[in-house]
Amino acid sequence: MMKRIRIRLMAAGMATILPLALWSGNAAAQAKEIVLGAMLPLTGSAAQIGLEEQNGIQFATDKVNAAGGIRGYKIRIVYEDTQGKPDLGVLAFNRLVDLHQVSGIFTAYSSVTLATAPLATRKKVFVLNPAAQTSKLATASPYLVNTISLAKDEVSIIAKYAAEKLGKKAAVYYDSGSVGIDLRDEFKTAFLAAGGTIVADEAVEFGNTNLRPTLLKIAAAKPDFVFMAATTGPGVTGDQISQIPDYPTAIGTSFFAPFKNYPVTVYHTLVKSSVTGETEKEFNAKFKTPDMAFFSREYANASQIMFKVIDYLLEKGRPVTGENLRTALFEVKTFDTPNGKISFDTNTARREVEIHKLTPAGRTVVEKIAH
Amino acid sequence: MALSTNFLVGIIGIFSVSQAALMGVGAYAYAGVAMAGMPFPVALLAAVTLCALLNTVTSLPALRLAGDYFVITSFGLQFIATAVFVNWVQVTGGSTGIAAIPAPRMLGISFEEPQYFVILSSLALALASLAYTLLMRSSYGRVLHAVRLNELAAGAAGRNVLKMKLGVSAVSGIYAGLAGALYAIFMSYIDPSSFEIQQSIVILTMLVIGGARTLAGSLIGPLLLLAIPQVLSLVHIAPELLGPTRALVFGALLVVFMLWRPQGIAGRKI
Amino acid sequence: MQLILQLVLDGIVHGCALGLIAMTFSYIYVTTGIFHVAHAGILTLGGYLAWYFTGVGVPFPVAVAIAVAGSAAVGVLIQKGVYEPLMKRRSTPLVQLIASIGIVAVIQNLLAIVFSPNVLQFEMLPWRKSSLHLGSLDISYPQLLTVIVSLVAALGLLLFSSRTALGRRARAVASNRSFAEIARLRPYDVYVYVVAIGAGLVAIPGIFLGVDQALQPYSSLGLLLTAVIAMIAGGVGSLPGAFLVALVLGVLQNLVLAMVPGRWSQALTFAIFITFILMRPTGLFRIRMQRAS
């Protein structure tokens, strides 16, 4: 597809429409403003997570703007919908960079982030990734910085824990998205290395809600526990598991982190992600949510990191370019966040990982591992 | 890409919804060969040949089945293709896809740079359009139109309808292969989700809005559809409703176009 | 063995829901000649309507009735507002199909805007998690209801089509539109009834699948596709054929899962289907009604 040409032609078309459309609204706002981009799955099967992410960014942005912006500069975020699809991601990236001239972008979704990483390198745009976990992101681009631990780290922690405490016979349940498959492969490698065997290996289509046949097959294999690598609504999975007799204990990473009322015992890793109670209350009041979801927290916290880096550049009087944002991040290196200090030795943040045990009675943290 | 579907739908009256799958085959073929270190022309040729062949073979059912059945068969083919892209991990990289697909280097210029890529794809588009125009003006093209309008009459006039249809499938496959290869170069990353059924429908929609059976239609449609999100982003909508709203407008436009101008902006009657 | 039996049982439940979708799609398709993809949108709509009304405190059976009526009304709207003008202009099936695709997009996204794109569950119905034990097999109440209601609805549609005056008129219109016009059967009125009945009935699997599993705005197209395959394999025009093949497909999809890894099951179903359609393009059961126009 000759998308490139279309974009060019489109840009030409826009050039004639834009001034008219922006005449009234933007003239005043243009004065002191820094525009950032966010490419999130706002529709499609991952939309639920995409909206949590968007709320997180918007929350942090509104807050910093209400306090007068960063050294007088207001922050404006341009949201682009990727539907979690890499091709739409590439188009979104190009629009953000060519049309809106952003130098910093929040990303989401592993395949989108992987697809746009070469563009980030080519166009020297700073990309902050607070959510996508596929292990390939560690080295995808020098301009890509991950504020969350990658899958490999979490999987090796839970695989080791399970091999020691739960047994040597594992089943794997995953969804056919790229994260699900990566998690399956990484778990298999880590668990076999820890001396275990895999007795069943079953996938569900991403977005499918009829999970019974797959769950039945898992239970019939009688493993010591099952590694769950699917996000299709934890509520739906839970309901259907509750109708399967003798479903085994489940383990997982942050990718599979049910919140309450799960019918079987679950052990899962979770990157420690906190916000102050005050922030959470403010967030819930603003977006009318019962709690501040994991991804809202992560994006709000990542936004703080982005703002801190911009602040640093403005303080030094350096222009806010992608190249400078990247350099500045490693110059600042350590950031104070509600999760404690986060520091960047490489492109991926070092974070504290906890192992949670979730039973119908409630949630306990059984282990804390810094890696 | 719309050019390729236009060829099938507009010219010969076969409505295929598996065009994205075919383009995917082209993209994977190009990626596979290029990643193996082969030069650009070889990779391109591989993609184009494979698609032409595959499209000819899979179009065979269309010759046995009536229109609506063919729609469903091509739906099915699309699903199978997606399953192969996802599951044949050794070749396609599975859901993770293939990253860092090399762009061609010729005469010391790397086409990785956007400005050079524009030249490359403009060139390809110009060539494809030229070939399309020439083909349609030729006596062959006129016979094709005749086949679409009245298959029996064309057959009675001594034309081998089967051969004509297979020929069209092959040419359409070539266009899809070309599009797939260019797509792989431009994105430098491919994965199964880019070649799913929704993509096929988007391609079809582009064609329909632009107008079928004309060259201008295949070019205007994509432009207009891709501009819709741009225009929408200028209107103020609550951010969480942005995505669905875009898709809503998209769907409404389809209905409206069908009601008031089913031939599209530049097209002839479909 | 126990696993196989349970899979077959779940397959039957799924197949019944699928069967009603296939039958109603077939009914509309054969009578009006429109490849009514928007059926998938109405399927989803029915579930959301029932969810909304149950949520505001309406008793569940009443909510189901409202959802069925609401879906039928939307069906009428689509027929009067979009399909009828297209038919009167004698537009090609392709144009009608594309309009229908547009309608699906409108319905799905409207639902996503109004109800959020999140997965929704019928939290307010505590009985949806209980199940009945038949020996070593389990069937949940929503599953049981799915089977019963789908069977009743399917039987009702069959009786309606063959025994009532309106049903017979619909079949006459289906077999020859221009002749029906001459015979003053007023085909356009018949289309409205047929689309309304189809839309109302397809709300039923939408609701019960939603109660049993969950509601999502964007997931119904895959279901419809399988249903359409059932319709074709069963022989276009044969309503019992569509239902039976859908039932078989539901069981087959589950059983295939027991033999091969889950990720291949959908492709395998389609592959079997394509081979089948090439060998026997008229379907398992002979065509009783020809496609309109």
Q: For A146-194, how does the pLDDT look when each residue is reduced to its tens digit (9 = 90+)?
A: 999 888 888 999 999 999 999 999 999 988 777 788 888 899 999 999 9
CB pairs under 8 A between B and C: 119
Distance, in Å, from the CA atom of A253 to the CA atom of A131, rounded to the nearest integer, reads 13
Which residue has better confidence, A160 or B107? A160
**Which of B17, B144, B1 is CA-nearest to residue B79?**
B17
The HSE-up count of residue C281 (CA atoms within 13 Å, CB side) is 13
Q: Based on C-alpha coordinates, what's the Rg of chain C?
A: 19
Show me where the domains of chain B are located.
2-195, 196-270
Cβ proximity of B270 and B217 under 8 Å: no
Q: Domain total for chain A?
A: 2
Which chain B residue shows the shortest CA-CA distance from C268? B80
Which residue has better confidence, A86 or C8? C8
Is A1's CB within 8 Å of B114's CB?
A: no
In a domain, C263, yes or no: yes
Q: b/e per residue, A47-60, with b = 16+ CB within 10 A? A: bbbbbbbbbbbbbb
Chain C residues in contact with B84 (beta carbon < 8 A) = 267
Tokens of residue A93, six digits: 């990236």
Is A8's CB within 8 Å of B118's CB?
A: yes
Looking at CA atoms only, how far is residue B240 from chain C in angstroms?
9
Q: What angle do CA B13, B18, B21 make, to 5 degrees?
A: 145
Percent of chain B with pLDDT over 70: 44
Backbone φ and ψ of B181, nearest 5°? -65, -45
Helix, strand, or coil (residue C151): helix
Is B191's CB within 8 Å of A86's CB?
A: yes
Chain B residues in contact with C237 (beta carbon < 8 A) = none
In a domain, C286, yes or no: no
Is B252's CB within 8 Å of C91's CB?
A: no
Largest alpha-carbon pair distance within chain B? 62
**Which of B250, B216, B205 is CA-nearest to residue B232?**
B250
Q: Domain total for chain C?
A: 1
**Which of C196, C197, C176 is CA-nearest to residue C187?**
C176
In a domain, A334, yes or no: yes
In a domain, A295, yes or no: yes
Distance, in Å, from the CA atom of A132 to the CA atom of C42, rounded to the nearest integer, reads 34
Chain B residues in contact with C98 (beta carbon < 8 A) = 204-205, 208, 254, 258
- pTM comes to 0.74
The HSE-up count of residue C289 (CA atoms within 13 Å, CB side) is 31
Strand order in the sheet with A352-359: A197-204, A169-175, A225-229, A249-252, A266-271, A352-359, A362-370
* pLDDT range class, residue C133, cuts 50, 70, 90: confident
Which chain B residue shows the shortest CA-CA distance from C81? B259
Looking at CA atoms only, how far is residue A172 from chain B in angstroms?
17
Domain hosting C273: range is 2-116+138-279
Closest residue to A181, CB basis, from B1, B96, B239: B96
Domain hosting A65: range is 32-148+275-351
In a domain, A359, yes or no: no
- Restricting to A residues 348-367, those with a Cβ less than 8 Å away from any Cβ of B are none
In a domain, C287, yes or no: no
Q: For A212-235, how does the pLDDT look when each residue is reduced to its tens digit (9 = 90+)?
A: 888 888 998 899 999 998 866 667
Which chain B residue shows the shortest CA-CA distance from A93? B187
Helix count (H) and strand count (E) of chain A?
A: 11, 14
In a domain, A318, yes or no: yes
Distance, in Å, from the CA atom of C95 to the CA atom of C99, rounded to the nearest integer, reads 6
| Predicted local distance difference test score (pLDDT) of residue A198 | 92
**Which of C290, C283, C292, C293 is CA-nearest to residue C22?**
C283
In a domain, A249, yes or no: yes
B33-38 long-range contacts, Cβ below 8 Å, gap at least 24? B34/B101, B34/B102, B34/B184, B35/B98, B35/B101, B35/B102
Q: For C220-267, how does the pLDDT look when each residue is reduced to its tens digit (9 = 90+)?
A: 877 888 888 888 888 777 899 899 989 988 888 888 777 766 666 667
**Which of A208, A247, A212 is CA-nearest to residue A230?**
A208
| Together in a domain, A84 and A177 | no
Is B114's CB within 8 Å of A178's CB?
A: no
| Predicted local distance difference test score (pLDDT) of residue B12 | 37
Backbone φ and ψ of A293, nearest 5°? -65, 160
- The torsion defined by the Cα of A329, A330, A331 and A335, in degrees rounded to 10, comes to 60
| Predicted local distance difference test score (pLDDT) of residue A312 | 95
Whichever domain contains C94, its CATH number is: 1.10.3470
In a domain, C130, yes or no: no
- Restricting to A residues 116-145, those with a Cβ less than 8 Å away from any Cβ of B are 117-119, 122, 134, 136, 140
Examine the pLDDT at B27 and tell me if it is beyond 80.
Answer: yes
Chain A residues in contact with B199 (beta carbon < 8 A) = 87
In a domain, C127, yes or no: no
Phi-psi map region of A77: left, alpha, beta (phi>0 left; psi -120 to 50 alpha): beta
Please tell me if residue B222 touches chain A, with a CB cutoff of 8 Å: yes
Chain A residues in contact with B179 (beta carbon < 8 A) = 1-2
Helix, strand, or coil (residue A254): coil
Distance, in Å, from the CA atom of B182 to the CA atom of A264, rounded to the nearest integer, reads 49
Chain C residues in contact with A44 (beta carbon < 8 A) = 117, 218
| Together in a domain, A285 and A311 | yes
Whichever domain contains A330, its CATH number is: 3.40.50.2300
